[in-house]
Amino acid sequence: MLTTHSQRLSSLTGVAMVTALLAAAMPAANAATFNTDEIATHDHWQSLTLSLGGEQHYRAVETHSYSDATLSLNATQGVCDLPWLEMRVTLEQQQGESRAVNLMPARLRVDEQPVIDTMAEFITERGDDGFYVHFYLSDLESLMTDMRQGEQLFLGFDQGRARAVVYDL
């Protein structure tokens, strides 16, 4: 079942506020800053290379749908056959520790394609003002193919009642 745009924003804001409250007493720390290169725009998406020392990551990111959240497809040099899907919500302050906050059932769907049932892990990173959601997907290749051809990606979280987030593709 789809919710209105304001309800989706309210759901995202609620998750961010709960996480911000959990982290309110934690001291701030410095996060690593990666160099960006090869930045290109593709409609609502941007692609770029992130590097720090010998470490390199490749990212396609969608920042159009929400002002306080991004969706990204990521790959790391040397293990590009293991890409991951991630959502990041900006919090009010930097986090004092890296930790897994929660693991819960999630659902993904591109347009009218079949629903993909999966798990989502909610994570904070020390020194970062983001709240991350990593999706565990057994067939990311099929999802990426559907995303290339689709118009919207629907994300649902099972938090006792259904919550949905929609990204324009």
What tens digit of pLDDT does each residue of 95-108 get?
A: 999 999 999 999 99
For residue 30, tell me if it sits in a domain. no
* Single-letter amino acid, residue 166: V
Binned at pLDDT 50, 70 and 90, residue 31 comes out as: low
Binned at pLDDT 50, 70 and 90, residue 60 comes out as: very high
For residue 69, tell me if it sits in a domain. yes
Distance (Å, whole) CA 164 – CA 131: 17
Q: Say how many domains are in the chain.
A: 1
Distance (Å, whole) CA 105 – CA 156: 9
For residue 159, tell me if it sits in a domain. yes
For residue 28, tell me if it sits in a domain. no
- Residue 44's domain spans which residues? 5-23+35-168
For residue 136, tell me if it sits in a domain. yes
For residue 153, tell me if it sits in a domain. yes
For residue 17, tell me if it sits in a domain. yes
pTM: 0.71
For residue 151, tell me if it sits in a domain. yes
